[in-house]
Amino acid sequence: MRTGLIALRRDRGAFALSFVLPIAFFSIFAVIFGGHRDSTPRVKVIVVDEDRSTASQRLIRGLEREGSLVVKKQPAAKDGVQQADYTAATAEAAVKGDTAPVALIIPHGFGEYPMAFGAPGENRPTIQLLKDSSDLIAAQVVTGLLQKVAMTAMPDLMAEQGSKYLGRFAGGLTPEQRKRIDEGLDELRRLENSDDQSSASGDSNRGMPVAVATRDVVGQNRDMVSFYAAAIGVMFLLFTASGASGSLLDEAESGTLDRVLSSRVTMGNLLAGKLVYSMLLAFSQLVVMFVWAWLVFKVDFIPHIPGFVVMGLSTAFAVGAFGMLLASICRTRAQLGPLSTLVILLMSSVGGSMFPRYFMSESMQKAGLLTINAWAIDGFTKVFWRDEPISHLWPQVMVLLSIGVVFWAVARRLAGRWEYS
C-alpha cells in the first residue's frame, strides 16, 4: 500500500487525474441530465401552409409561440435575399438534407374542417408530418404541441367546426345518425384496445383534435443499429487510438525512442508512422464493427461501402491524431490512462456516442460540435440513414481532416521535447 501511494504521489499528473476523473465525469452527466440545463432543446420544424386560411395561419402563429419549437416557413436568406416559402417538395428535401428533423404540411381545405372528428375513411384534410426517423424525439414533440396548439390557438374555430358537425350529426338522431355515431364509438373502442396506434403512414392521431398523417422521409424501415455502430464505434476508436499512441511513451521510457531517433528516422517520420498505424487500426476496427452489424443486425452495409470508406478514413485520421496529441501531452503511461479516459468519455457523452445529441440542451448540442464524435456520427448518419451521396459528406470530412491536421501539428510540436536534451 505504501509503495503504491508513494508511486501515485510522485506522478502528480496521474495523482490529480485519479480524483479529477470521477468528479469531471459526474459533472458532465449532471449538466446534461440534471438541473443545470441552461435551455430546453428546441425542435426545428418546417411548416408549409398550402391552405393559407385563417385557421392554418392561426395554427402556425400558435406553433411559433411555442418556446420549444423553432418554426421555419422559408429557407434562410441567401446573400440577403429572402427565399420563397417552403413547398411540400422543398420541405421534404430539407428534412432529407438535415435542415430540420420534422416538416408539417397543412393541406388545402384544412381551414374548412380543422377538426379530426368524423367517421373513418371520410375524406377530410389531414396535416402531413414528414420526419427524419433518426431523431426519435422531434416528431413526438411536434405532434403533441400541434394538438395542444389546435386546442388553444383556435378555440372559436373548433367551436364553429363542432357546430357544423352538430348540424350534420344531430337534429333528431335519425337511424342513420345513430348508426354513424355507433360506428365512430366502435372505432374509438377498437383503437383503445388495440396496440396498433402508431402506423407510420396512417392516421396515427385519432381522437386528437387535428388529424395528422406521419411519414418517414429519412431512415425508412431502418432501425437504430447503424447509428449505434457509428456512435459506439467512434468512442472505441478513440480509446484504441490513445492506447496505440501510448507506444510513444513506452518508447520514451524504454529508451528505444533515443535509439530510433539516432537512426535516419526523424521525429516527424516516427509520429507519421505511428499515426498511420493508429489510423489503420481504427479503420480496421470500424470495418469489423460494421461487417458485424451487417451480418448479425442486417445493417444495409454493402451499398454504402464508398461512403463508409470516406467517413471511416476521415474518422480514423482524426482519432489517430487525437491519440498522438494525448500521448505527446502526457509524460508517462500512468498519466495517459486517466487523461484519455476523461477526455474520451467527455467527448463521447457530449458528442453523441452515449446518447443522441438531440436529447441535449441547445448549448450542449453546440458544444458537441467541438468533438470528433459529433462530426463522425453526423457523417455516418448521412451515409447510412439519409442515403446521401459522398459529395454531401464534405463538411464532416473537412472538419475531421482539419481536426486531424491541427492535432497532429500540435502533437509534433509537443513531441519536440523528446528530440534532444
123 binds other proteins (CB under 8 A): no
Ramachandran area for residue 250 (φ above 0: left; ψ -120 to 50: alpha; else beta): alpha
- Residue from 76, 80, 255, 391 touching other proteins (CB under 8 A): that is 255
192 binds other proteins (CB under 8 A): no
276 binds other proteins (CB under 8 A): no
E strand or H helix at 127: strand 127-132
Closest CA to 210 of 275, 152, 130: 152
| Packing angle, helices 333-351 and 247-254, rounded to 10 | 170
221 binds other proteins (CB under 8 A): no
Dihedral sign from CA coordinates of 251, 253, 254, 259: positive
194 binds other proteins (CB under 8 A): no
- Residue from 3, 123, 194, 262 touching other proteins (CB under 8 A): that is 262
Give Rg (Cα) of the chain: 28
- Residue from 70, 137, 260, 354 touching other proteins (CB under 8 A): that is 260
DSSP assignment of 307-365, as one string? HHHHHHHHHHHHHHHHHHHHHHH-SSHHHHHHHHHHHHHHHHHHHTSSS-GGGS-HHHH
- Part in contact with other proteins (CB under 8 A); list of ranges 9-17, 106-114, 254-262, 359-367: 254-262
Q: In a 3-state reduction of DSSP, which class is residue 132?
A: strand
272 binds other proteins (CB under 8 A): no
151 binds other proteins (CB under 8 A): no
Q: How far is the CB of 228 from other proteins (least distance, A)?
A: 34
Q: How far is the CB of 379 from other proteins (least distance, A)?
A: 35
- Residue from 35, 78, 80, 264 touching other proteins (CB under 8 A): that is 264
263 binds other proteins (CB under 8 A): yes
Q: Which is nearer to other proteins, 3 or 421 (CB)?
A: 421
Q: Which residues are CB-contacts of 318 (< 8 A; sequence separation ≥ 6)?
A: 372, 375, 376, 400, 401, 403, 404, 407
78 binds other proteins (CB under 8 A): no
258 binds other proteins (CB under 8 A): yes
421 binds other proteins (CB under 8 A): yes
259 binds other proteins (CB under 8 A): yes
Q: Which residues are CB-contacts of 250 (< 8 A; sequence separation ≥ 6)?
A: 333
Chain positions contacting other proteins, by CB under 8 A: 254-256, 258-265, 420-421
